[in-house]
Amino acid sequence: MGSRMGWIGAGAAAWGLSCSAAWAQPASTVVWSGFPVGGLGDQVSRPLIEQLRSRYPGTIVLGSKPGAGGRIAAEFVKRAAPDGATLLQGPSSPIVLYPHTYGARLAYSPQADFVPVAPLASYAISMTVGPGVPDEVRTLADFIAWVKRHPEKANYGIPAAGSALHFVGATFDRLASLDMKSVAYKGGAPLLTDLLGGQVPVAFNVISEVLPHLKTGRLRSLAVSSPERWPAVPEVPTFAELGYRDIAMVEFLGWYAPARTPPELVGRLNAAVRDALQTPEMTAVFAKNGLMPLIETPEAFAERVREDTARWAPIVKATGFTPED
């Protein structure tokens, strides 16, 4: 606890430092996402940036470099100057899971090339069916029976190959012995479009991206990945309670800086983010999108990254999962 309090104190002290110190406060910062606009990152970060305007001295904007499941943006930020002007935004998969699913093919080392700045939110993964599946398919058992009757339609959509959403889909497919084929998209927004249009019958989605359509009935969630029922959809069972105990996880969204970014800059931005996340405006954003806020110091966030990276290693190895599954 002492080390965490020490970091908090350093972060708070950073507020009192001026640009004449050994480090310089950037006039503007671009937070680069590895996914198209309109997905989870936009849902959280756009309103968050509005709250940061009065809490952080520099201007912050969002940028997008979609592709390769978030790896293009990660590689770009890795090469950026460590001056606080360039950050990476992403779900946890490119940081804690890709080292195990892509291995030596990964062109960056998450823990060597990035500094965790601040987590923003945690979220569950939903197995979601749309108009490409008959209305009478209401449960996971119904879906399994439908796929066995129509194996030619057994495709499932994922926002990114090698991601936690892909892992959940592939693990369910193996355990249910369905032999479905994965279809990787360039993010949650284009996947949602095809799910709503019936081009893909089932998808593994971030809960916030499908929640509005679950409420209207256009989409149906058959199961969620969280260990316990997710507060936003308490009527939806977990995979674990339906017998798929190997599927019990949540992901998190966060901001990262290039390695060697001054701790003072990281501490200043983290303090501003933690304050902004607790505003009534952000509380409303989380409630609307079915997300849980994550409010942690840089040190605690770094420990979360280390623990999740270690947790995924034996899981991936035991299942033999690869991004080509």
Tens of pLDDT, residue by residue over 254-309, are: 999 999 999 999 999 999 999 999 999 999 999 999 999 999 999 999 999 999 99
Q: Which residues contact 135 (CB under 8 A, 6 or more apart)?
A: none
Instruction: Place 317 in a pLDDT band, splitting at 50, 70 and 90.
Output: confident
pLDDT of 191 reads: 95
Mean pLDDT of the chain: 91
pLDDT of 279 reads: 98
Neighbours of 58 (CB within 10 A): 16
pLDDT of 325 reads: 64
Find the mean pLDDT for residues 44-54: 96
Coil, helix or strand at residue 90 = strand
pLDDT of 6 reads: 36
Find the mean pLDDT for residues 41-69: 94
Please write the tens of the pLDDT for every residue from 236-260. Answer: 999 999 999 989 999 999 999 999 9
Q: Which strands sit side by side in the sheet containing 292-293, from one edge to the other?
A: 59-64, 28-33, 86-91, 251-258, 114-123, 292-293
- What span, in angstroms and rounded, lies between the C-alpha atoms of 144 and 178? 7
Instruction: Place 321 in a pLDDT band, splitting at 50, 70 and 90.
Output: confident
pLDDT at 3 over 60: no
pLDDT at 198 over 80: yes
Please write the tens of the pLDDT for every residue from 70-94. Answer: 999 999 999 999 999 999 999 999 9
Question: Per the structure block, which two tokens stand in for 54?
Answer: 């009065």
pLDDT of 23 reads: 66
pLDDT at 113 over 70: yes
Q: What is the 3-state secondary structure of 293-305?
A: ECCCCHHHHHHHH
pLDDT of 315 reads: 84
- What is the percent of the chain where pLDDT is above 90? 83
Degrees, nearest 5: CA angle 289-162-292: 20
Please write the tens of the pLDDT for every residue from 119-167. Answer: 999 999 999 999 999 999 999 999 999 999 999 998 999 999 889 999 9
The b/e string for 166-192 (b: 16+ C-beta within 10 A; e otherwise) is bbbbbbbbbebebebebbbbbbbbbbb
